[in-house]
Amino acid sequence: MGNYIITIAREYGSGGRVIGQQVAEELGIAFYDKKLITLAAKESGFAEDIIERVEQKKELSFFYNLYLTGQEMSLSEQVFLAECNVIRKIAEEHSCVILGRCADYVLQEQKNCLRVFIHAPLALRAKWVREQYKVNRPDLEDYIRKQDKNRAAYYNYFTHNKWGESRNYHLCLDSSIGIAACVRILKDLVEEFIGGVASGNGERD
C-alpha cells in the first residue's frame, strides 16, 4: 500500500479525535491535530497562540486584523492559507490522519485521500463532553450546538461546501455504534479504498 491520507471532520463531542488517534496508532501512521498549529506558525510567521485563537473563526474585525498583521487579508484567511500549505506538504511526505481544518476540501483532488465525517446523537455527545472534556454546564447541549455552528460556518465560508453533507465525504459514520467499531470500520475501509485506488479499481466512468 502506498502513501495515503485519512481526513476526519467531526461533530463536537462525537469522539472523532479519539477515533482518529486510534486509527493512526493501529495503522502505524502519523496523526495531526494540534501539531498543525505549530507547523502553520512556522509557515506563516504568526505565534502559535494567535493561530489557536483565530482557528474556526471565519472573520475578525478590520481594525483588529490591521493591528495584528498590517494587511487587508483577514488573519483568519492568512491562517487558513498557511494551514492549507502545511496540509498539502504533509500529504506529499507520508501517510497520516488529519483531523479537521478543512483537510477533506484541501485534498479533495487527491485520489489517495479518504474523507470521513464522524457524527453522533446530541445526547450521546453531551455525555461524552461531560465525561471526557469535563465540561459541566446547565446549557451543555446549546454549547455543543454552538461549537458545531462555529465549525460549520468556518468550513462553509472557506470551502463553499456544506459541512457535514454526505456528498463531501467517502464515509459518514455514527460513533454511537462504538469507538472500537468505528476504528475497525475505518481500518478495513483504508485497505479496500486505498488498495482499489492503487490498482485502478477506484476509477469510475
User: Which is higher by pLDDT, 181 or 40?
Assistant: 181
Q: What's the grid cell of residue 53?
A: 485563537
Strand partners, 173: 118
Residue 32 pLDDT: 97
pLDDT band (50, 70, 90) for residue 25: very high
CA angle 176, 115, 76 (to 5 degrees): 100
Domain boundaries, the chain: 5-195
Stretch (H or E) spanning 31: strand 30-32
Please say if the pLDDT value at position 163 is more than 90. yes
| pLDDT given for residue 130 in this prediction | 97
Q: Does residue 61 have a pLDDT over 70?
A: no
CATH number for 5-195 (one of 3.40.1410.10, 1.10.3720.10, 3.50.50.60, 3.40.50.300): it is: 3.40.50.300
| CA–CA gap between residue 122 and residue 182 (Å, rounded) | 18
pLDDT tens column, 63-110? 344 444 445 577 888 888 999 999 999 999 999 999 999 999 999 999
Other residues' Cβ atoms within 10 Å of the Cβ of residue 68? 16
The pLDDT score that the predictor gives to residue 44 is: 84
